[in-house]
Copies of this chain bind each other. A is one copy, B any other.
Amino acid sequence: MRPRMKLYLDGPGGGTFGEGVCRLLEAIAAEGSIREAARLLGRGYRKAWGDIDRAEEAFGRRLVSKSRGGSSGGATELTPFGRELVAAWERFSGEAAAGMEEAFERHLGAIIEGGNRDER
């Protein structure tokens, strides 16, 4: 029985950033387009687009730089702030998860895993 955690950053005027959007940004950085990134992650473009929109609303800053038209049809790449954010979030979430695991072992590890006795 393992613990699980979800991390969020909420903007003051709505909007949210979390693990999902971070993964999406990484995929965009790798693929160069929102559509391809969404396909790679098995998500719909519609939702991916909305997620980015909400994330940018949360920070009040652009995370990606999008362009329409052209021979390629269009493209999307991360802004410098977007790249910085992804890297910082990776460190943040990794460290938070490690601390959580540690706290779990310290306080709940002994309590749980103790078989399935029944008390009445």
A75 to chain B, nearest CB (A): 15
A105 to chain B, nearest CB (A): 10
Secondary structure dominating the interface of A: mixed
Number of residues on chain A facing chain B (CB within 8 A) = 44
Choice from B9, B58, B79 contacting A119 with Cβ under 8 Å: B79
| Contact between B4 and A9, CB atoms less than 8 A apart | yes
Q: Which residues of A contact B (CB under 8 A)?
A: 1-12, 58-62, 65, 79-81, 84-85, 88-89, 91-92, 95-96, 99-100, 102-104, 106-108, 111-112, 116-120
A82 to chain B, nearest CB (A): 9
| Contact between B99 and A111, CB atoms less than 8 A apart | no
